[in-house]
Amino acid sequence: MSYLQVQGLAKRFGTSCIFEGVDFAVQKGEFVCIIGHSGCGKTTILNILAGLDAASAGAVIMDNREVAGPSLDRGVVFQGHALMPWLSAMRNVAFAVRSRWPDWKRHQVHLHSQKFIDMVGLTGAEHKKPSELSGGMKQRVGIARAFAIQPKMLLLDEPFGALDALTRGNIQDELVRICAATQQTVFMITHDVDEALLLADRILLMSNGPAARIAEIVDNPLPKPRERQQVHHDPGYYRTRNHLVDFLVNRSKTYQLEEYRNEARRRRRH
């Protein structure tokens, strides 16, 4: 039994179907990325996993329990950093820590929050408000906040989408390091094929909407630990990368047609 199981998930608004028949599983300690074009419902899937949105059909089961609403078991890093602008970086993290452990003393909350602020490399900036932080630093605070509650699973909604390449690289390195250290189970949305190859153990490819599906699940063949500076020298790197890019450029559009033809061929054979 997998740690997280998603079965027959679908989301419809009236007559229009965003996605349907979405099935996948995530093992404990696994890092899974989902790639697809805008509008295919990636964020909706993540919100359903988080318990912030309800599916039209299907079920999400985590740790043998059905996901019925938001929970401290699943930490979310939002697309926009979603920090509270009136609180300092430290107090944003402390807000989450206090929610997770309401009985903790102020000192304990502070120590724990500081540990995670240090972990994302923001030591010294903890008393700054989000408006005084750069985009990358804000996203780091968001990551620290999600990790600080030590959730069973982490959900990342395109966390680095709005960052410049250099900052993005640095934070990706941090994320690799932190995930390796904490054995965190992660589900992450991305647009970036290289990011997926660096971070993910498995990559879910989603076809275009409407009625999007998971077209293919690609196992990342690159051995761990992967490093950003080294990973593209691996002989298997470009083969997998090309496969992913081909999917995004061509097959994501034609996938449904492809499926339809396959189905017809199968029928003809019988």
Partner 1 sequence: MRLRLLAGVLSLLFLAVLVGAWHLATLPKGAAAAADSEYAKLVGAQAAVGAKSAFPTPADLGRKLAEHVSDPFYDRGPNDKGIGVQLGYSVARVLLGFLLAALVAVPCGFLIGMSPLVYRALDPFIQVLKPISPLAWMPLALFTLKDSNVSAIFVIFICSIWPMLINTAFGVAAVRREWLNVASTLEVSPLRKALVVILPAAAPTIMTGMRISIGIAWLVIVAAEMLVGGTGIGYFVWNEWNNLSIANILSGILAIGLVGMLLDFLFSRLQRAVTYTE
- Closest separation in Å from C-beta 156 to partner 1: 13
- From residue 19, how far is each of 43, 98, 199, 211 by CA, in Å? 11, 37, 25, 4
Question: Which of these, 14, 36, 4, 18, lies nearest to 215 by C-alpha position?
Answer: 36
Q: What CA–CA distance (Å, rounded) separates 157 from 161?
A: 9
Nearer to partner 1, 18 or 83 (CB): 83
Nearer to partner 1, 98 or 202 (CB): 98
Cis peptide bond N-terminal to 225, omega within 30: yes
- Closest separation in Å from C-beta 92 to partner 1: 9
- Closest separation in Å from C-beta 130 to partner 1: 8
Secondary structure (DSSP) of 48-116: HHHTSS--SEEEEEETTEE--S--TTEEEE-SS----TTS-HHHHHHHHHHHH-TT--HHHHHHHHHHH
Edge-to-edge strand order for the sheet containing 65-66?
Answer: 16-26, 4-13, 57-62, 65-66
- Point out which residues bind partner 1 (CB under 8 A): 50-52, 69-72, 74-76, 78, 80, 82, 84-86, 95-96, 99-100, 129-131, 149
- From residue 67, how far is each of 52, 63, 256 by CA, in Å? 10, 9, 29
210, two tokens? 């409407």
- Closest separation in Å from C-beta 50 to partner 1: 6
Q: Look at the alpha carbons of 145, 101, 199, 126 in this order and tell me if their dihedral is positive or negative.
A: positive
- Closest separation in Å from C-beta 71 to partner 1: 6
Q: Is 251 helix (H, G, I), strand (E, B) or coil?
A: helix
Nearer to partner 1, 36 or 75 (CB): 75
Nearer to partner 1, 36 or 51 (CB): 51
- Closest separation in Å from C-beta 101 to partner 1: 11
- Closest separation in Å from C-beta 134 to partner 1: 14
Q: What CA–CA distance (Å, rounded) separates 252 from 215?
A: 8
263, two tokens? 């189905």
Q: What CA–CA distance (Å, rounded) separates 64 from 68?
A: 12
Nearer to partner 1, 75 or 159 (CB): 75
Nearer to partner 1, 73 or 216 (CB): 73
Nearer to partner 1, 3 or 101 (CB): 101
